[in-house]
Amino acid sequence: MRGKKVLVTGADGFIGSHLVEELIRNGAKVRAFCFYNSFNSWGWIDSLPDDIKDQLEIFTGDIRDPNGVKTALQGMDVVFHLAALIAIPFSYHSPDSYIDTNIKGTLNIIQAARDLGLERVLVTSTSEVYGTAHYIPIDEKHPRQPQSPYSASKIGADCIAESFYKSFDLPITIVRPFNTYGPRQSARAVIPTVITQLLNGEEQIKLGDLSPTRDLLFVKDTARGFIEIAQSSSLIGEDCNIATETEISIGDLAHEIISQINPKAVIVQDVTRIRPTKSEVFRLYGSAARIKEHTNWNANFSLTDGIAETISWFKDKNNLSHYKHDIYNI
């Protein structure tokens, strides 16, 4: 990516901020698209080291606005489109916002990219589009199952992106990371939920269903995966998983975190955190065959090491202060 002019949407978010760091270290010229707000906050970009921030160009806007999106993309070679609404429970009662942001926002990005003739467009999908596994490991041919309004919106965004490749030969790749975790992850996710309760002294850790399994991917591995995919011309017109080809249940994951922080803590079930049965995705276990065939990517972090680094980040009181551990964040 050295010398490439790159726009990252959702740069102010969890994965986006890590991707920005990795791109800068790879020599890219990065424009960070951050969600406009009256506080002049750039989200997690504000927490990056000064040597990274000094090399960034910040653009504030809203991906639902096609005019702002086109302005942001002017002069760019590559776009990594990560901006999205992602919380599944919130999508149950606010589905309209997911359609506007995830589908219309993606359309705005790819339409502008087509008009401006960008070299590469990477659209971020999610393993949630697969739903509960019909078979494992889940490869890119697995059926799509819209088990929540969130996953339905991402399936729609994927389809719009695929149609622009087939209709207009737009050089799109759909990047599909499995369950990414690490420093800066939002409070609605299970790992920050467990860690923040423990670090705030709780010994009864509130969780929902402990039986679903997830393929957990450390965020630095995810960011490297995006860049490797962007540099592979053979993945144009394809969708591509980033996965570890492992799985762990939510219960076993929670016990791993508890063992690293306070082995005396116990798990208690909070029924308000349990999703509707037909909406819960009970098994995610991804195939990494395609990314390994077309790139040099491999996961560098074991789950134990990734959890340890994540806990270390949360132990910094400045970081922990961003999280309200006693509230169920949907």
Q: What is the pLDDT of residues 225-263, one digit of tens each?
A: 999 999 999 999 999 999 999 999 999 999 999 999 999
The full set of domain ranges for the chain reads 5-180+217-242
**Contact 94/134 with Cβ under 8 angstroms?**
no
Distance, CA of 76 to CA of 78 (rounded, Å): 6
* The pTM of the whole model exceeds 0.85: yes
Distances in Å between the Cα of 74 and the Cα atoms of 5, 6, 226, 285 are 10, 10, 22, 38
Cβ contacts of residue 252 below 8 Å, gap of 6+? none
**Cα angle 197, 200, 205; round to 5:** 25
- Cα distance between residue 218 and residue 310, in whole Å: 9
Quickly count: other Cβ atoms within 10 Å of residue 162's Cβ: 16
Please determine, looking at this structure, whether the domain spanning 5-180+217-242 carries the CATH number 3.40.50.300: no
What would the pLDDT profile of 127-154 be if each residue is shown by its tens digit?
999 999 999 999 999 999 999 999 999 9
Q: Give the 3-state secondary structure of residue 185.
A: coil
- When pLDDT is averaged across residues 116-121 and rounded to a whole number, the result is 98
How high is the pLDDT of residue 326?
Answer: 86
Q: Would you state the pLDDT for residue 1? A: 85
pLDDT of residue 330 exceeding 80, the answer is: no
Task: Tell me the pLDDT tens digit for each residue of 168-225.
Answer: 999 999 999 999 999 999 998 999 999 999 999 999 999 999 999 999 999 999 999 9
Task: Please tell me the distance from the alpha carbon of residue 214 to that of residue 28, in angstroms, as a whole number.
Answer: 32
Cα angle for residues 107, 244, 279 (degrees, 5° grid) = 55
Terminal Cα-to-Cα distance of the chain (whole angstroms): 36
The 10s digit of each residue's pLDDT in 41-71 is: 999 999 999 999 999 999 999 999 999 999 9
Confidence of residue 328 (pLDDT cuts 50, 70, 90): confident
**38 contact partners, CB below 8 Å, separation of at least 6:** none
Structure tokens at 38: 């009256």
